[in-house]
Amino acid sequence: MNFDDWEPVYEAILADFGFGREADERARDVLAEFAVPFDTERFADVTDSTVAIAGAGPSLAAELDVAAAADVVFAASTATDVLRDADISVDLMVTDLDKNPETAVALTREGVPVAAHAHGDNVPAVREWVPKFDREHVLATTQAAPVGPVVDYGGFTDGDRAAFIADEFGAGELVFLGWDFDDPDVDDVKARKLQWAERLLRWLEVRRDEEFTVLDGQRESIRPVR
C-alpha cells in the first residue's frame, strides 16, 4: 500500500471519529524508539498462499476449520489465543496492545512475528509493552505516514490491518473467520469501527480483483471509502 493511496482514506477515518493526526504521529514516533526494521523476507511464504485472517468475533470458535485449512494464519488480537488453544499455529499476531499484550510478548520470545500498532491513544501501552518484546520479531505499524522502521500497509482495526498486511506480502487468496460486522454486544464506537473494517475490506477486494466470502450478501450496500 502506497501511503499516497492510503492517506485520503486515513483522513476520512480521522474526520469521522474526530481523531487527531498529530496524536497518531506522536504515537508512531514513540514506537519507532523501540523498533528495528523488520526482515520482510520472513513473509516469503505468504506469496501466492491462502492466508486466513482471523477476527476476534463471537463466530470464531465455530469457524476454526478455515484457519486449519489455510497455508498461513494472521490473527487479530485475542483471536490469537483462541487459535493457539485449539493447536492452530499463528504466523502473525496483529495488535494495538489493548487486550492481550502478554500473548504478544510471549510470541515474539518464541520467534513468532507480531505487528504492533501505535495510534493516538495507546502510547502508554506502547511504552509499557513493546520494550518487553523481542524486537527482532516486531513489525511496527502506524496508520499515519511511515517513518523509519514503522510502516503503514493500510488498515484501521487489527482485523482489517491483518488483511492489508497479507496483501502487502502477496497473498494469493484471503479467507476469513471470526468476523461479525453486526455484533450486537459491542459499544457504539466499536460498531463504527467494524463498519469501517467492512468498508476497508470491500476496498481491498476491489484492489485485489477478488471477492471475499465474508462480504457476500452485503457487498452492494457497503459505502465506498473513496
Angle among Cα 207, 116, 99 to the nearest 5 degrees reads: 110
- pTM of the predicted model as reported, rounded to 2 decimal places: 0.97
- Grid coordinates representing 217 are 450478501
Average pLDDT over residues 209-217: 97
- 199 three-state secondary structure: helix
Q: Is residue 180 in a domain?
A: yes
pLDDT band of residue 113 (cuts 50, 70, 90) is very high
Number of structural domains found in the chain: 1
The per-residue pLDDT for 116 is: 98
Q: 226: pLDDT confidence band, cut at 50, 70 and 90?
A: confident
Query: Is 38 part of a structural domain of the chain?
Result: yes
In tens, the pLDDT along 47-100 reads 999 999 999 999 999 999 999 999 999 999 999 999 999 999 999 999 999 999
Residue span of the structural domain in which 86 resides: 3-221
Phi/psi for 179 (5° steps) reads -110, 125
- Average pLDDT over all residues of the chain: 97
In a domain, 13, yes or no: yes
180 in Cβ contact with 187 (< 8 Å): no
Residue 181 burial (10 A CB sphere; 0-12, 13-18, 19+): middle
CA distance 201 to 160: 6
Are 202 and 224 spatial neighbours (Cβ–Cβ below 8 Å)?
yes
Is 226 among the domain residues?
A: no
Residue 14 placed within a domain? yes
Q: Could you tell me which of 98, 56, 23 has the C-alpha nearest to residue 185?
A: 56
Q: Is residue 151 part of a domain?
A: yes
Buried b vs exposed e over 72-94: b needs ≥16 C-beta within 10 Å? bbbbbbbbbbbbbeeebebbbbb
Q: Each residue of 133-164: pLDDT tens digit? A: 999 999 999 999 999 999 999 999 999 999 99
What 3-state class would DSSP assign to 222?
A: coil
Is 37 inside a domain boundary?
yes
Give the gyration radius of the chain's Cα atoms: 16
6 alpha carbon, distance to own chain's centre: 15
- Model confidence pLDDT, tens digit, residues 11-38: 999 999 999 999 999 999 999 999 999 9
Average pLDDT over residues 107-113: 98
Whether 190 is covered by a domain: the verdict is yes
Judge whether residue 101 has pLDDT over 90: yes
User: 165: closest CA among 213, 130, 123, 200?
Assistant: 200
Interval 101-120 mean pLDDT = 98
